[in-house]
Amino acid sequence: MTADNAITGKRVLVTGGTGFLGPHVRAALVRFGPAAVFAPRKAEYDLTEQTQTRKLLDATRPDVVVHLAAVVGGIGANRERPGEFFYQNAVMGILLMEEARRRNVSKFVTVGTICSYPKFTPVPFKEDDLWSGYPEETNAPYGIAKKALLVQGQAYRQQYGFNAITLLPVNLYGPGDNFDPKSSHVIPAIIKKVVDAREAGQGHIDVWGTGRASREFLFVRDVAEGIGLAAAHYDHPDPVNLGSGMEITIRGLTELICELCGFTGELRWDPTKPDGQPRRCLDVTRAKERFGFTAKTPFRDGLKETIAWYEQHRGTFAAGGG
């Protein structure tokens, strides 16, 4: 811990700080010696309401805001609730940043999404390609809502000198992830399907899409470290990717999860279901150069830990899933 960072001795507010990622981010921030870290629950303050947002900032009086709060989900949830995904994510960020600016917050960290990238971004995704096309249709409302916060932060920096930064993490996974079949992302969704099928003695599982699409994944503790480092040391308008630089097809991912879970049944792919974006793999050079972040967790090890967590907690989650 050093004093030459934006966190030491400061009051830090983490929205979404009690969710999947939040506790890990709070732990990463604590290493930089803040005066206090606040992580109110969603039930306490509705950040889509201006009066509630003002109450939160008046109650916590932060010097630094790390905005993690988001409405998120997999392809199915994005297709079913595009209006909700757009409105809530846009309004939460816009209101929070404006009220933070009015209170002279010294730093605002927007945690955006890889879904903001164009559907056919050249691989590996470079931050300079963020505006080269429209996002993949199934998650465009979510991706564009988050992208708008990048524009807001850059505009506020230009007009008001407001120190807003934007981070673009790739797909996250790890212990404590959302395994609800109605809203989970791909790794927890597949883990749940495979473990439930193994326990039920099923001879196959059904999997969405063709399996040809690729994704990059980042372990939850790694992304928290990246957010902490950027909050402490990064002060520029350019967005920054947070990723592992590793790419795997959905078919390869599913086969690996089956292996780690001890499931030997058939995989039945359903090409009538969407694959989502064809490929996702990030150029992670900027994060390393600007604030020294490199992912450390090997993918196989991270998956083992995630599967073990689900095995211990699976009674909490409903059977079935899409």
- Which tokens is 229 given? 């480092």
Is 134 annotated in the active site? no
- The answer to whether 242 touches 291, Cβ cutoff 8 Å, is no
For 180-314, list the strands marked E by DSSP: 204-208, 214-215, 217-219, 240-242, 248-249, 266-270
- Which tokens is 138 given? 């199934």
d(CA 186, CA 171): 9
H/E segment holding residue 25 = helix 22-30
Nearest-5° angle of CA 232, CA 238, CA 240? 65
Return the DSSP state at 136: P
87, 117, 134, 142: the catalytic one is 142
Catalytic residues: 142
